[in-house]
């Protein structure tokens, strides 16, 4: 006797074929601590060898699982130990060499992104972190697959404003250096508060210090499945609505758990976590904004949007957590503007502003994500924007992040098109009142009182 | 181990025969078939045992999908674990 009915079979097939259910990413975390060397050439060779050996079967295994279960697995990726921790005495030029070795390794194993060109700076900057930060603009603009991140704050340590100021400068440089390509370099750099060690999603993935030698982390997706379930439910009250989201999230996550377990077995690499994030794509019917609109807001960004997102985020976690043995990463709804057809439409018609997006990030992961702003936005304004967003994360003991694109030569009303899953970003209005005096004070914002839990 | 084979498309002569011929050729034993025709549309769900399959399952998936293309139908074969994971605790 089968454990499921024909209705169940058709529901699963419909989720995959019509509602864009997919596994967004299988990300293999790889520790690079054993690659350390005082010679930069040796370090780069060891990094290349370790990644290409450990991840050699990752892409093919992903394809095999995809075929076996009939569920698309969009990305196969690698995250590595934060490079600032293994660079030793490397100068910025040395860090650029490491970046190129990582990029070369990514190309050799056939993945589409490699994350971990990362510095951990919440309390201050080591020499390695400072050199890595200096190298980021060149490293990102001269590589194809590399992603970079900086953890600039944590609830425990407070906010390192000096790091944030540097990050604002990096963002402007990246926009300029990749200006012929719509400032795409900014899409590969993210500034974090409370960055998770096991996040499988780019651009912020890295393999944290407490992680194993290698590990499989899986990110699920499925905003389209949730939106369709709400649509089918018709008129129901909010308790019933939350219940529908929970049940749907459970089913989506079970697929993630199945894929993670299978990948872990086939690759002989321990299973880490399933990340429960609802990750949108620019495809029609794969939008988080459309879930909010299905819940009853005329256009995403209208009053009530934050409440809807809070319901969604909470119900996704409650449903997902029972479906997987280990949940981690970012685990929440993503609200990247350029990667979500509904968000793009809401921004274009004026329903959704940066200020509203900032409010929304207080109740979901991950932050101000894939937002294009005018190319002439001053560094201090970008620094202020990052500080605001990071404060939300620090005070609320959650991850927040900023991935913002001051699109070179573009102004409000223009559009930048990255293509593929990065999508299109309408250039948004941002307050031009200067936070220069505040930003230039530098130093650290003390950790909030509720960080003292011991 | 079991696989679920689904077939959808415009109804015609010999659909069940062509799918079951491919199954038999590769040692896939059909346990259960449910099918219906609504208007001109044909839909079938087959539960099949793949313990004795003579080729790797992923190759069978390619062959059965190619058969679908040839016949103007959508035919998919999926390992049953995706259904049992999703619908049973």
Maximum CA extent, chain A? 71
Q: How far apart are CA A281 and CA A285, in angstroms?
A: 9
* A324 at B interface, C-beta within 8 A: no
Q: How far apart are CA B66 and CA B79, in angstroms?
A: 17
Phi then psi for residue B54, to 5 deg, are: -95, -5
User: What is the nearest CA distance from B61 to chain A, expressed in angstroms?
Assistant: 7
Structural domains in chain B plus CATH codes:
2-87 (3.30.70.260)
Q: How far apart are CA A162 and CA A169, in angstroms?
A: 11
pLDDT digits (tens, 9 = 90+) for A217-242: 999 988 999 999 999 999 999 999 99
The answer to the question of residue A433 being in a domain is: no
Residue numbers of the domain that contains A106: 24-62+71-193
Contact at CB, B82 and A8, closer than 8 angstroms: no
pLDDT digits (tens, 9 = 90+) for B45-66: 999 999 999 999 999 999 999 9
pLDDT digits (tens, 9 = 90+) for A135-154: 999 999 999 999 999 999 99
The answer to the question of residue A147 being in a domain is: yes
Mean pLDDT of B4-8: 94
Asked if B48 and B2 count as a contact pair (C-beta separation under 8 A), the reply is yes
| B37 vs A310: which has the higher pLDDT | A310
The answer to the question of residue A232 being in a domain is: no
Contact at CB, B6 and A3, closer than 8 angstroms: no
User: What is the nearest CA distance from B44 to chain A, expressed in angstroms?
Assistant: 10
Q: Taking 80 as the threshold, does the pLDDT of residue A3 lie above it? A: no
SS3 A190: strand
Q: Taking 70 as the threshold, does the pLDDT of residue A403 lie above it? A: yes
SS3 A217: strand
pLDDT band at B12 (very low <50, low <70, confident <90, very high): confident
| pLDDT on residue A365 | 76
- Residues of chain A with Cβ-Cβ distance to B83 below 8 Å are 3-4, 8-9, 12
Q: Taking 90 as the threshold, does the pLDDT of residue A6 lie above it? A: no
pLDDT band at A248 (very low <50, low <70, confident <90, very high): very high
Instruction: Please state the domain count of chain A.
Output: 1
Instruction: Identify the closest residue of chain B to A15 by CA–CA distance.
Output: B86
The answer to the question of residue A41 being in a domain is: yes
| pLDDT on residue A404 | 97
Q: Taking 90 as the threshold, does the pLDDT of residue A284 lie above it? A: no
Mean pLDDT of A261-278: 95
- Other residues' Cβ atoms within 10 Å of the Cβ of residue B61: 21
Alpha-helix runs per DSSP H in B10-80: 15-25, 57-71
pLDDT band at A322 (very low <50, low <70, confident <90, very high): very high
* A349 at B interface, C-beta within 8 A: no
| A293 vs A1: which has the higher pLDDT | A293
A73-80 and A23-30 beta bridge pairing? parallel
| pLDDT on residue A150 | 98
Tokens at A370, concatenated = 């894939």
- Average pLDDT over chain A reads 95
A367-374 and A327-328 beta bridge pairing? unpaired
Contact at CB, B79 and A3, closer than 8 angstroms: no
**Segment (H or E) for A382:** helix A379-395
The answer to the question of residue A146 being in a domain is: yes
pLDDT digits (tens, 9 = 90+) for A422-452: 899 999 999 999 999 999 999 999 999 999 9
CA angle A48, A49, A55 (to 5 degrees): 90
The answer to the question of residue A181 being in a domain is: yes
The answer to the question of residue A4 being in a domain is: no
The b/e string for A282-317 (b: 16+ C-beta within 10 A; e otherwise) is beebbbbbbbbbbbebebbbbeebbebbebbbbbbb
| pLDDT on residue A1 | 54
Asked if A425 and A344 count as a contact pair (C-beta separation under 8 A), the reply is yes
Provide Rg for chain A, Cα atoms: 21
Tokens at A418, concatenated = 């990255």
Interface test with B, best of A4, A248, A253 (most B CBs within 10 A): A4
Asked if A221 and A25 count as a contact pair (C-beta separation under 8 A), the reply is no
Q: How far apart are CA B45 and CA B63, in angstroms?
A: 17
- Residues of chain A with Cβ-Cβ distance to B47 below 8 Å are 2
- Other residues' Cβ atoms within 10 Å of the Cβ of residue B87: 18
CATH number, domain at A188? 3.20.70.20
Tell me the CA distances in angstroms from A314 to A54, A129, A246, A249, A305, one per residue in order. Answer: 36, 35, 9, 11, 14
Mean pLDDT of A3-7: 84
| pLDDT on residue A2 | 65
Phi then psi for residue A303, to 5 deg, are: -60, 135
pLDDT digits (tens, 9 = 90+) for A97-134: 999 999 999 999 999 999 999 999 999 999 999 999 99
The answer to the question of residue A423 being in a domain is: no
CA neighbours within 13 Å on the CB side: how many for A381?
Answer: 17
Query: Closest by alpha carbon to A129, among A119, A137, A138, A139?
Result: A119
Query: Closest by alpha carbon to A105, among A93, A90, A91, A117?
Result: A117
Interface test with A, best of B9, B47, B49, B85 (most A CBs within 10 A): B85
């Amino acid at each position: 006797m089968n454990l499921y009915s024909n209705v169940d079979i058709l529901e699963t097939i419909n989720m995959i074929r019509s509602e864009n259910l997919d596994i967004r990413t299988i990300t293999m975390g790889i520790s690079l601590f054993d690659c350390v060397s005082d010679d930069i050439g040796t370090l780069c060779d060891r990094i290349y060898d370790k990644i290409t050996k450990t991840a050699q079967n990752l892409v093919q295994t992903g394809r095999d699982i995809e075929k076996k279960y009939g569920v698309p697995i969009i990305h196969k990726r690698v995250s590595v130990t934060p490079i600032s921790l293994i660079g030793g005495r490397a100068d910025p030029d040395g860090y650029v060499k490491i970046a190129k070795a990582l990029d070369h390794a990514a190309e050799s194993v056939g993945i589409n992104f490699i994350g971990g060109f990362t510095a951990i700076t919440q309390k201050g900057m080591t020499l390695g972190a400072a050199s890595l930060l200096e190298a980021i603009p060149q490293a990102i603009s001269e590589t194809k697959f590399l992603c970079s991140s900086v953890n600039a704050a944590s609830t425990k340590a407070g906010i390192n404003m000096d790091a944030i100021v540097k990050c604002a400068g990096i963002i402007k440089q990246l926009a300029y250096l990749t200006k012929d390509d719509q400032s795409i370099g900014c899409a590969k750099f993210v500034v974090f508060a409370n960055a998770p060690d096991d996040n499988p999603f780019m651009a912020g993935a890295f393999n944290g210090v407490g992680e194993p030698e290698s590990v499989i982390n899986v990110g699920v997706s499925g905003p389209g499945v949730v939106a369709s379930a709400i649509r089918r439910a018709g008129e129901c009250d909010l308790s019933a609505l939350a219940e529908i989201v929970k049940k749907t999230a459970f089913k989506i996550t079970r697929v993630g758990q199945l894929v993670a377990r299978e990948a872990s077995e086939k690759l002989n690499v321990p299973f880490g976590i399933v990340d429960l994030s609802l990750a949108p794509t620019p495809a029609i019917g794969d939008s988080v904004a459309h879930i909010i609109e299905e819940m009853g807001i005329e256009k995403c960004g209208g009053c009530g949007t934050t409440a809807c997102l809070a319901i969604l985020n909470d119900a996704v976690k409650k449903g997902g957590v029972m479906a997987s043995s280990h949940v981690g990463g970012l685990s929440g709804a993503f609200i990247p503007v350029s990667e979500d057809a509904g968000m793009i439409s809401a921004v274009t018609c004026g329903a959704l502003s940066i200020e509203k997006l900032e409010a929304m990030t207080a109740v979901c992961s991950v932050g101000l994500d894939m937002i294009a702003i005018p190319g002439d936005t001053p560094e201090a304004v970008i620094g202020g924007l990052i500080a605001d967003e990071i404060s939300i994360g620090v005070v609320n003991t959650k991850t927040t992040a900023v991935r913002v694109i001051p699109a070179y030569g573009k102004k409000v009303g223009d559009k930048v098109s990255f293509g593929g899953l990065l999508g299109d970003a309408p250039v948004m209005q941002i307050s031009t009142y200067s936070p220069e005096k505040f930003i230039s004070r530098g130093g650290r914002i003390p950790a909030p009182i509720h960080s003292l839990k011991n | 181990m079991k696989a679920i084979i689904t077939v959808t498309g415009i109804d015609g002569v010999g659909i069940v025969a062509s799918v079951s011929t491919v199954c038999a050729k590769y040692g896939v034993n059909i346990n259960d078939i449910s099918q219906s025709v609504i208007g001109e549309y044909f839909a079938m769900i087959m539960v099949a045992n793949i313990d004795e399959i003579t080729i790797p399952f992923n190759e069978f998936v390619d062959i059965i999908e190619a058969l679908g293309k040839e016949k103007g139908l959508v035919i998919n074969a999926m390992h049953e674990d995706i259904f049992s994971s999703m619908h049973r605790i």
